[in-house]
Structure 1
Amino acid sequence: MSHEAGWAHAPGALRGPSWLREPADPNDLVPHLWSTTAQKVDGELHVGGLAVADLVAEHNTPAYVLDEADFRARARAFRDAFSAYDVFYAGKAFLCTAVAAWVKEEGLSLDVCSNGELTVALRAGFDPARIGYHGNNKTVTELRRAVAAGVGRIVVDSFVEIERLAMIVADTGLSARVMVRVTAGVEAHTHEYIATAHEDQKFGFSITSGDAFEAVRQVQVAPGLELLGLHSHIGSQIFDSSGFEVAARRVLALHARVSDELGVTMPEMDLGGGFGIAYTTQDDPSDPAQLATELSKIVEHECRALDIPAPRLSIEPGRAIVGPAMCTVYTVGTVKPVRLDGGAVRTYISVDGGMSDNIRTALYDADYSCTVASRTSTAPPVLARVVGKHCEAGDIVVKDEFLPGDVAPGDLLAVPGTGAYGRSMASNYNHALRPPVVAVRDGVARVVVRRETEDDLLATDMGDQ
Structure 2
Amino acid sequence: MRAGVLELAGYSVTDLTETFATPSFLLDVADLRARAARFRDAFAAAFGRPVAVYYASKAFSSTAVLRWVHAEGLRVDCATGGELATALAAGIPGEDIGLHGNNKSAGEIATAIGAGVGRIVIDSLPEIELVARVAADLRASDVPVMVRVTTGIHAGGHEFIATAHEDQKFGLSLATGAARAALDAIAASPGLRLVGLHSHIGSQIMGSGGFAEAARAVLGLRAEAEAAGIEVPEIDLGGGYGIAYLPGEADLDPAVVAADLAGAVRAECAALGASVPEISIEPGRSIVGPAMVTVYTVGTVKPVTTEDGSQRLYVSVDGGMSDNIRTILYDASYTAMLANRVGGAETVRARVVGKHCESGDIVVEEVQLPADIRAGDLLAVPATGAYGRSLASNYNLVPRPGVVALGDGEPREIVRRETVADLLALDLG
TM bucket by the smaller chain? over 0.9
- 1:137 is the counterpart of 2:103: yes
Partner of 1:311: 277
Partner of 1:395: 361
Partner of 1:163: 129
- Whole-Å Cα distance in 2 between the matches of residues 297 and 395 of structure 1? 44
The residue type paired with residue 189 of structure 2 is A
- Whole-Å Cα distance in 2 between the matches of residues 298 and 283 of structure 1? 26
- The SS at the match of 1:180 is strand
Select the residue among 314, 321, 324 that pairs with 1:348. Answer: 314
Alignment size in residue pairs: 423
- The SS at the match of 1:444 is coil
Matches within 5 A, 1:44-123: 44-83=5-44, 84-123=50-89
- Whole-Å Cα distance in 2 between the matches of residues 403 and 444 of structure 1? 32
- 1:194 is the counterpart of 2:161: yes
- Whole-Å Cα distance in 2 between the matches of residues 190 and 198 of structure 1? 14
Partner of 1:288: 254
- Whole-Å Cα distance in 2 between the matches of residues 328 and 322 of structure 1? 13
- Whole-Å Cα distance in 1 between the matches of residues 214 and 342 of structure 2? 48
Could you tell me whether the CA contact under 8 Å between 1:50 and 1:444 is conserved in 2?
no
- Whole-Å Cα distance in 2 between the matches of residues 120 and 187 of structure 1? 30
How much is the aligned-residue C-alpha RMSD, in angstroms? 1.0
Q: Over residues 239-277 of structure 1, what are the superposed CA-to-partner deviations in whole Å (9 max), with x where a residue is unaligned?
A: 11111121111111101000112x122110100010000
Structure 2 spans left out of the alignment, 5+ residues: 45-49
- 1:172 is the counterpart of 2:138: yes
Matches within 5 A, 1:326-341: 326-341=292-307
Deviation at 1:378, TM superposition (A): 3.3
Select the residue among 115, 118, 127 that pairs with 1:152. Answer: 118
Could you tell me whether the CA contact under 8 Å between 1:87 and 1:314 is conserved in 2?
yes
Select the residue among 374, 379, 400 that pairs with 2:345. Answer: 379
**Matched residues, percent identical?**
57
Partner of 1:3: none
Deviating above 3 A after TM superposition, structure 1's stretches of 4 or more consecutive aligned residues are: none
Partner of 2:182: 215
The residue type paired with residue 174 of structure 2 is I
The residue type paired with residue 412 of structure 2 is R
Relative distance call for 1:443 and 1:335 in structure 2 (3 A) is: farther
Deviation at 1:420, TM superposition (A): 0.2
- Whole-Å Cα distance in 2 between the matches of residues 121 and 442 of structure 1? 20
Matches within 5 A, 1:351-362: 351-362=317-328
- Whole-Å Cα distance in 1 between the matches of residues 415 and 118 of structure 2? 27
Structure 1 spans left out of the alignment, 5+ residues: 1-39
Deviation at 1:190, TM superposition (A): 2.3
Partner of 2:216: 249
Deviation at 1:220, TM superposition (A): 1.4
- The SS at the match of 2:70 is helix
Q: Which has the higher contact order (CA 8 A, sep 6+)?
A: 1
- Whole-Å Cα distance in 1 between the matches of residues 238 and 319 of structure 2? 33
The residue type paired with residue 133 of structure 1 is L
Partner of 1:127: 93
Partner of 2:148: 181
Partner of 2:421: 455
- Whole-Å Cα distance in 2 between the matches of residues 145 and 441 of structure 1? 34
Deviation at 1:69, TM superposition (A): 0.6
The residue type paired with residue 354 of structure 2 is G
Partner of 1:26: none
Partner of 1:426: 392
- Whole-Å Cα distance in 2 between the matches of residues 216 and 457 of structure 1? 46
Deviation at 1:289, TM superposition (A): 1.2
Select the residue among 164, 187, 193 that pairs with 1:226. Answer: 193
Could you tell me whether the CA contact under 8 Å between 2:156 and 2:203 is conserved in 1?
no
- Whole-Å Cα distance in 2 between the matches of residues 243 and 319 of structure 1? 18
The residue type paired with residue 304 of structure 1 is A
Q: Over residues 169-195 of structure 1, what are the superposed CA-to-partner deviations in whole Å (9 max), with x where a residue is unaligned?
A: 112221310000010001314210100
The residue type paired with residue 238 of structure 2 is G
**TM-score normalised to structure 2 length:** 0.97
- Whole-Å Cα distance in 2 between the matches of residues 164 and 196 of structure 1? 23
The residue type paired with residue 402 of structure 2 is P
Partner of 2:47: none
The residue type paired with residue 106 of structure 1 is E
Q: Over residues 270-325 of structure 1, what are the superposed CA-to-partner deviations in whole Å (9 max), with x where a residue is unaligned?
A: 00010000001353322211121111111111111111101100000000000000
- The SS at the match of 2:92 is coil
Deviation at 1:51, TM superposition (A): 0.5
- The SS at the match of 1:41 is coil
Could you tell me whether the CA contact under 8 Å between 1:48 and 1:442 is conserved in 2?
no
Partner of 2:202: 235
- The SS at the match of 1:423 is coil
Partner of 2:379: 413
- The SS at the match of 1:217 is helix
Deviation at 1:443, TM superposition (A): 7.6
The residue type paired with residue 167 of structure 2 is D
- Whole-Å Cα distance in 1 between the matches of residues 97 and 308 of structure 2? 57
Deviation at 1:100, TM superposition (A): 1.0
Could you tell me whether the CA contact under 8 Å between 2:153 and 2:214 is conserved in 1?
yes
Q: Over residues 23-60 of structure 1, what are the superposed CA-to-partner deviations in whole Å (9 max), with x where a residue is unaligned?
A: xxxxxxxxxxxxxxxxx111100101110011101111
Partner of 1:8: none
Could you tell me whether the CA contact under 8 Å between 1:50 and 1:443 is conserved in 2?
no
